[in-house]
């Protein structure tokens, strides 16, 4: 049971694949679709688009401290809308961080000592999902030192603490990265070393401490802490080249019956 989180992808030209065993996203969202299988084919179930995009029945705004201790101050809808950080029209959605305020906080400084950081937005869908095809069409993503755009899904409740139900990072990158990372974070037992780069997907496994990061366990030996199994996407799948090219489309398939997660990108 996973909500979609945006803190502000048949055969495809670029594919990222994993077998099974949403950080603010400033930018322009031109379409967000969720599809379900009907008679062996995908049919549109939901469309996140339009002037009612930010209605409270669709999303909750995360306003607590950043669990990753970033220098960020997540705002609610009213503050974000009044300050121009979010906006929705009939065919376009904008989410952005405050790009004007001078932040007076030292790296690693405790929240209680002052500002939590740069005002930004992180939203989570009210609906939860157990599979489907998720399509995201983006015109622009943030790039530059200190930014961390992401679009992901994860499951958790009071008795199933993360990463018991796992996490799927569909789009993620930091600073001036020009290649997206697509990652699964799980408990032990999700070794993906049999998924071969260049054969079953066109990206590549990213590197851990001394091996490929192809084990989704957040505590896998030889990988960075909480690295999970992480694949690098194609060039210009984020960053300045992505923006200069007018954006792109991601489609992400979660297929419990087929036993896989798959992610594609088209510029």
Active-site entry in 172, 197, 253, 257: 172
Instruction: Quote the CA–CA distance of 267 and 249 in Å, as a whole number.
Output: 6
Cα 50 to Cα 88: distance, rounded to the nearest angstrom: 6
- For 147, the token pair is 């930014």
Which helix (H) or strand (E) covers residue 16, if one does?
strand 15-19
Residue whose tokens read 């071969």: 196
Find residue 3's DSSP bridge partners.
128
Gap between the Cα atoms of 18 and 22, Å rounded: 19
- How many CA atoms does the CB half-sphere of 53 hold within 13 Å? 24
- CA gyration radius for the chain? 18
Would residue 116 be called left, alpha or beta, if left means φ above 0 and alpha means ψ between -120 and 50 degrees?
A: alpha
- Within 10 angstroms of residue 164's Cβ, the number of other Cβ atoms is 12
What count of other Cβ atoms lies within 10 Å of the Cβ of residue 102?
Answer: 5
Task: Clarify whether 172 is annotated catalytic.
Answer: yes
- Of 55, 109, 156, 167, the active-site residue reads 167
Residue 63 CA to residue 24 CA, distance in Å, equals: 11
User: Is 167 one of the annotated active-site residues of the chain?
Assistant: yes
Name the residues annotated as catalytic.
167, 172
């Amino acid at each position: 049971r996973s909500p979609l989180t945006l803190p502000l992808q048949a055969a495809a030209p670029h594919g990222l694949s994993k077998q099974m065993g949403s950080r603010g996203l400033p930018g322009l969202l031109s379409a967000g679709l969720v599809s379900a299988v009907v008679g062996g084919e995908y049919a549109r179930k939901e469309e996140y688009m339009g002037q009612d995009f930010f209605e409270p029945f669709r999303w909750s705004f995360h306003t607590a401290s950043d669990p990753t201790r970033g220098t960020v101050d997540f705002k609610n809808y009213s503050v974000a809308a009044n300050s121009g950080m979010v906006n929705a029209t009939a065919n376009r959605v904008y989410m952005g961080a405050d790009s004007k305020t001078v932040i007076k906080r030292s790296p690693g400084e405790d929240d209680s000592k002052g500002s939590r950081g740069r005002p930004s937005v992180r939203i989570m869908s009210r609906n939860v999902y157990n599979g489907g095809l998720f399509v995201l069409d983006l015109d622009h993503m943030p790039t530059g030192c200190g930014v961390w755009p992401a679009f992901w899904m994860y499951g958790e409740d009071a008795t199933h603490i993360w990463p018991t139900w796992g996490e799927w990072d569909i789009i993620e990158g930091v600073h001036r990265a020009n290649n997206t990372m697509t990652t699964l974070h799980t408990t032990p037992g999700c070794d993906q070393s049999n998924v071969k780069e260049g054969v079953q997907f066109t990206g590549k496994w990213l590197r851990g401490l001394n091996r490929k990061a192809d084990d989704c366990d957040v505590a896998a030996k030889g990988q960075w802490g909480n690295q999970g199994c992480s694949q690098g996407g194609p060039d210009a799948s984020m960053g300045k080249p992505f923006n200069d090219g007018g954006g792109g489309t991601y489609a992400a398939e979660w297929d419990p019956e087929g036993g896989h997660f798959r992610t594609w990108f088209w510029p």
